[in-house]
Amino acid sequence: MSDAQFVEMSAVDIAAGVRSGAFSAVEVVTAHLKQIESYDHEVKAFVTQMSDRALEAARAVDEKRARGEELGALAGVPVALKDNMAYRGVETTCSSKILRGWIPPYTATVVERLEAAGAIAIGKTNLDEFAMGSSTENSAFFPTRNPIDLNRVPGGSSGGSAASVAARFAPIAIGSDTGGSIRQPASLCGVVGVKPTYGLVSRYGLIAFASSLDQIGPFARSVEDSSLVLDVISGHDERDSTSLSGRSYDHQASDGGIEGLRVGVITEMMDGLSDSVNKALAQAIESLRSMGALVDEVSVPAAKFGLTAYYLIAPAEASSNLARFDGVRYGLRVEGKDMNETYELTRGQGFGPEVKRRIMLGTYALSAGYYDALYGKAQKVRTLIANDFDAAYSNYDVLISATSPTVAFEFNAKSDPLSMYMSDVCTIPSNLAGHPAMSVPFAGDEDGLPIGIQVLAPSFGESVMFKVASALEAAAKYRAVPQWASTEK
């Protein structure tokens, strides 16, 4: 089998082939490393490559099979990891100068579970600094480019993870989603991206941005692959106090059709869509109806306040979480004449403009005299959003919307913060509610740029969410390919 065939294979097929002995894990990993070597100088998806470690892990998988031992569900499958997840012995930076050179002494639970299932980590991917952004232009190191059009952004903050899957550097990748940071780049890069129910996947080892909103989830090129990965990484973890006991996701539970399912189209998320995105949403609605789903519009009134509430709650939590980066315990340290100046110099030189902006906004929202007026009210709006979603789910099995109001935009196209924040207007509400949601590539615009459809479900409704996502995937007549692949043809 050729390298080109390996990099186009699904995670399910790779694992099956490695388990059966049809090919080796070393062959699979080598092919993906060659793909990275050939094209990542253009894409810049990776902050850190782990080639030697990956080949060593692949050899261990092959040796295990040679001994007749049972291999896991992701045997030999390369995986790219967002660089805000700890990996023992490997630099973890959050794409920030303040953490450059930090080597964690522990590994994130999600990574441990992936490796226990036989997956092979091949590198740490680029992100908006501390996961704050929607384009990966806020990385302290370099921007990542969208493999579908190298002149455009991949989305963010998990832009490197989304790009690594779209570029065929890995069949699966892991990202984090605080307000859309998995789903929005998935839409812009033409891949599948999943944000699970809050608490279903352990956050231990994830460097926190906003602890009540952060959630880890997979990227893949198929719904089936993303479902399998969620099966592997979900489940209770005693090291994470927000991890829910007795809850996990079963990959097999998502089988079946959608005839008779009730699907609501969120009216509040139909405003402000570009013409091409609006057209794709209309096509998705008709496709679901043609497969027997009962589709109608539904109102989630408080969802329109999601962006406002989010940009008070998330920065407030960030201002607290990022206080630990002070130059004393780890990371960058810039010496001053006293401790106050050391703090000031370290944080001033270590944090980028967007991180500083959010820390200051969050600190202001939590300050005396403004807490009740700003942060307190935002939390009340959050409750209203959750209640309105619950009301909608009393009549519908799932909800759908566009994932992003636009396709991937060009670099520097959104120079003011508000226009960038609007990129997540469709994704933020489900983070505030704690419900699962995912993006499925469904169509392309007139220039061939990907458009994703978002499927939302009530808490622990991943099974029905994946059923609808599979139906959309089957109906889609679009497949995103890297720019160089279309040029070579």
pLDDT, averaged in runs of 10, over the chain (489 residues): 96 98 98 98 98 98 97 98 98 97 97 98 98 98 98 98 98 98 98 98 98 98 98 97 90 83 97 97 98 98 97 97 92 94 95 97 93 95 98 98 98 91 96 98 97 98 97 96 78
Selected catalytic residue, list 24, 164, 181, 202: 181
Residue 203: which of 244, 233, 245, 240 has the closest Cα?
240
What's 48's DSSP letter? E
**Residue 202 a catalytic site member:** no
pLDDT of residue 488: 54
pLDDT of residue 250: 84
Tokens representing 349?
A: 């030189």
252 Cβ contact partners less than 8 Å away, ≥ 6 residues apart: none
**Residue 380 a catalytic site member:** no
Strands of 347-430, DSSP E: 398-402
pLDDT of residue 416: 86
Q: State the architecture of 3-302+387-488 in CATH terms.
A: Alpha-Beta Complex (3.90)
pLDDT of residue 255: 74
Instruction: Give me the residue spans of the domains in the chain.
Output: 3-302+387-488
pLDDT of residue 256: 78
Between the CA of residue 43 and those of 97, 129, 185, 483, what are the distances in Å? 21, 18, 14, 10
For the chain, give the number of residues.
489
Tokens representing 351?
A: 């944090």
**This prediction's pTM:** 0.97
Selected catalytic residue, list 157, 243, 404, 463: 157
For residue 216, what is the enclosing H or E element?
Answer: strand 216-220
CB atoms within 10 A of CB 137: 21
pLDDT of residue 329: 86
CA torsion angle 447 287 228 1 (round to 10): -50
Asked whether the beta carbons of 457 and 467 are under 8 A apart, the reply is no
Dump pLDDT digits (tens) for 344-360: 999 999 999 999 999 99
pLDDT of residue 39: 98
**Residue 82 a catalytic site member:** yes
Dump pLDDT digits (tens) for 241-295: 999 998 888 887 767 789 999 999 999 999 999 999 999 999 999 999 999 999 9
235 Cβ contact partners less than 8 Å away, ≥ 6 residues apart: 113, 200, 202, 247, 248
Distance CA 215, CA 18 (A): 30
Selected catalytic residue, list 24, 44, 82, 470: 82
pLDDT of residue 415: 82
pLDDT of residue 486: 67
